[in-house]
Amino acid sequence: MSSIELKHIVKKYGDGFPAVNDVNLDIKDGEFVILVGPSGCGKSTLLRMIVGLEDITSGELDIDGKRVNDLAPRDRNLAMVFQNYALYPHLTVYENIAFPLRLQKGKHSDAEIDQKVRQASDMLELDEHLQRKPGNLSGGQRQRVAMGRAIVREADAFLFDEPLSNLDAKLRGQMRTEIARMQRRLGITTIYVTHDQTEAMTLGDRVCVLKRGVLQQVASPRELYEQPVNLFVAGFIGSPPMNFLPARVDGNRLKLPFVDVPVDGELAEKVKGKDVVIVGLRPEHLKDSTVETAPEHSVKFNAVVDQTEWLGNEQYAYIPYEADGAVRKQLEDLDRDLDGEGLRTQMIVNLDPRSRVIEGDEARLAFDPAAMHVFDPHTGANLT
Ligand code: ATP
């Protein structure tokens, strides 16, 4: 087992924009860390630099306190865990797991190999399947065989690169649970790359959100959801996504599309001098006040519902809005920095299943102003 430390890691392909830009990250022994972000954000490049498949342009990579920048992949003792395709179909589960040990010719006796394979298969609950071929195993069992190989090698850490991306939704859910269970049981340091925020939120002790090669936030799933540091993280984490409502700052009031919200204390200080801010509200923080009791100090407003979606255990209402013309102009000028987030024109409400609101209705909505996030439109920083 191992700790992995990244200091000012940079990757440039040719002389273009850095694919990974000044990443600092301290992964503790036994930790399950997720690298997540949209396509092209640099997550695979980062993983490949850690495992040694890609050169590090600058910065330092330490494993267990030892500099490994120039070590060949095989000398880093890390295991990339591939799914399915990396297993040998003609070999039994037993032989697949034993394979890395047999490769180290003469280093292990048959008795030693047998002991290691049995130990690994016991940990991974594969004992009953040792004589089967990979073709007769479920996806989850195959994944465990791949992990078994890494275990017998006594790899210091597991690295996964989008292992579930080709599977259908149901299988992906099962495999996710399986990987989480095995990682906790084995306690092996794990780095897992995905673009899927559900995987990120359910698997990781800590989640690293990347955008254009830059780490935006490293935090527990709960902290990412409740205290996103900026607009990008706030918009990326959460499904359906956080609503971003453009608001004009008018003294101690924020003028949102449907309603004015008074601000005081620290927040009033932070928005002072700004013309425009972006207010973030999670869909579940907007309530239908006819079926849910809103706290005394809630902000209340009415809005016409354009569309509803009923999913049994929850339902969504879609509410179009228009930003004040001057506010919209300002945000359009900034759009490049906001990744388009400031220019949405529809709000999503996660309605209580008891709500009977339908398309065309004027819904009576309420939200607790304490649930608001307020973002600086220039920097994207969360001011709350
Ligand atoms: P995806 O989810 O689509 O796999 P990613 O977040 O894993 O994306 P990377 O594959 O790490 O992203 O790529 C990061 C950036 O580096 C991208 O802009 C990509 O085009 C670029 N890139 C990746 N590999 C190379 C390469 N071998 N040569 C040149 N540019 C590359």
Closest CA to 23 of 42, 41, 40, 7: 7
Pocket mutation for ligand 1, best pick of 10, 11, 34, 43 (most atoms within 8 Å of C-beta): 43
pLDDT tens digits, one per residue of 314-346: 899 999 998 877 788 777 777 655 665 656 789
- Spacing, Cα 46 to ligand 1 middle (Å): 10
Q: Taking the C-alpha atoms of 95, 99, 102 and 103 in order, what is their torsion angle to the nearest 10 degrees?
A: 160
* Predicted confidence band of residue 163 (pLDDT cuts 50, 70, 90): confident
- Spacing, Cα 312 to ligand 1 middle (Å): 40
Assess whether pLDDT exceeds 90 at residue 65: yes
pTM listed for this prediction? 0.90
For the CA of 193, the nearest atom of ligand 1: 7
For the CA of 14, the nearest atom of ligand 1: 29
Nearest CA to ligand 1 atom 16: 19
Closest CA to 262 of 298, 303, 304, 226: 298
Nearest CA to ligand 1 atom 31: 13
Question: Helix, strand or coil for residue 60?
Answer: strand
Closest CA to 35 of 174, 237, 194, 183: 194
| Tokens, residue 306 | 């354009």
Assess whether pLDDT exceeds 90 at residue 52: yes
Which of 16-20, 141-145, 372-376 bottoms out in mean pLDDT, i.e. has the lowest?
141-145
Backbone angles phi, psi at 266, to 5 degrees: -60, -40
Question: Helix, strand or coil for residue 343?
Answer: helix
Between 228 and 79, the more confident residue is 228
Pocket mutation for ligand 1, best pick of 11, 39, 45 (most atoms within 8 Å of C-beta): 45
**Percentage with pLDDT > 70 across the chain:** 96
Nearest CA to ligand 1 atom 18: 40
pLDDT tens digits, one per residue of 168-213: 788 788 878 888 888 888 899 999 999 998 899 999 999 999 999 9
User: What integer pLDDT is reported at residue 333 of this predicted model?
Assistant: 75
Full strand arrangement of the beta sheet holding 307-310: 307-310, 315-320, 346-351
User: What integer pLDDT is reported at residue 230 of this predicted model?
Assistant: 94
In whole angstroms, give the CA distance from residue 43 to residue 82.
16
- Spacing, Cα 197 to ligand 1 middle (Å): 19
What contacts 24+ positions apart, CB below 8 Å, involve 22-25?
A: 22/59, 22/214, 23/59, 23/213, 23/214, 23/215, 24/215, 25/208, 25/215, 25/218
Between 16 and 299, the more confident residue is 299
For the CA of 11, the nearest atom of ligand 1: 16
Residue for token digits 């399950």? 32
Outline where DSSP puts E strands in 64-170.
66-67, 78-80, 157-161
Closest CA to 375 of 254, 249, 239, 280: 280
- Spacing, Cα 19 to ligand 1 middle (Å): 7
User: What integer pLDDT is reported at residue 83 of this predicted model?
Assistant: 55
User: What integer pLDDT is reported at residue 339 of this predicted model?
Assistant: 61
Nearest CA to ligand 1 atom 29: 13
- Spacing, Cα 57 to ligand 1 middle (Å): 15
Residue 360 CB contacts under 8 Å (≥ 6 apart), including other chains: 304, 305
Residues making up the chain, counted from first to last: 384
Please give all residues whose beta carbon lies within 6 A of any atom in ligand 1, as ranges. Answer: 13, 19, 37, 39-45, 195
Pocket mutation for ligand 1, best pick of 20, 21, 36, 44 (most atoms within 8 Å of C-beta): 44
Whether the Cβ atoms of residue 212 and residue 179 lie closer than 8 Å to each other:
no
Assess whether pLDDT exceeds 60 at residue 376: yes
Assess whether pLDDT exceeds 80 at residue 152: yes
Nearest CA to ligand 1 atom 23: 45
| Tokens, residue 193 | 């790359």
For the CA of 44, the nearest atom of ligand 1: 7
In whole angstroms, give the CA distance from residue 21 to residue 214.
5
Whether the Cβ atoms of residue 28 and residue 120 lie closer than 8 Å to each other:
no
Nearest CA to ligand 1 atom 25: 13
In whole angstroms, give the CA distance from residue 8 to residue 131.
47
- Spacing, Cα 42 to ligand 1 middle (Å): 6
- Spacing, Cα 191 to ligand 1 middle (Å): 18
- Spacing, Cα 64 to ligand 1 middle (Å): 27
Domain ranges of the chain: 4-232, 241-375
Closest CA to 363 of 380, 347, 379, 345: 347
**How crowded is residue 121: how many other Cβ atoms within 10 Å of its Cβ?**
22
Backbone angles phi, psi at 328, to 5 degrees: -60, -45
| Tokens, residue 70 | 């120039």
Domain 4-232 indexed as CATH 3.40.50.300: yes
Whether the Cβ atoms of residue 49 and residue 55 lie closer than 8 Å to each other:
yes
Residue type, 262: P
Distance of CA 283 to the CA centre of its chain: 19
Whether the Cβ atoms of residue 258 and residue 302 lie closer than 8 Å to each other:
yes
- Spacing, Cα 380 to ligand 1 middle (Å): 25
The mean predicted confidence, pLDDT, of the chain is 90
In whole angstroms, give the CA distance from residue 327 to residue 205.
39
- Spacing, Cα 65 to ligand 1 middle (Å): 28
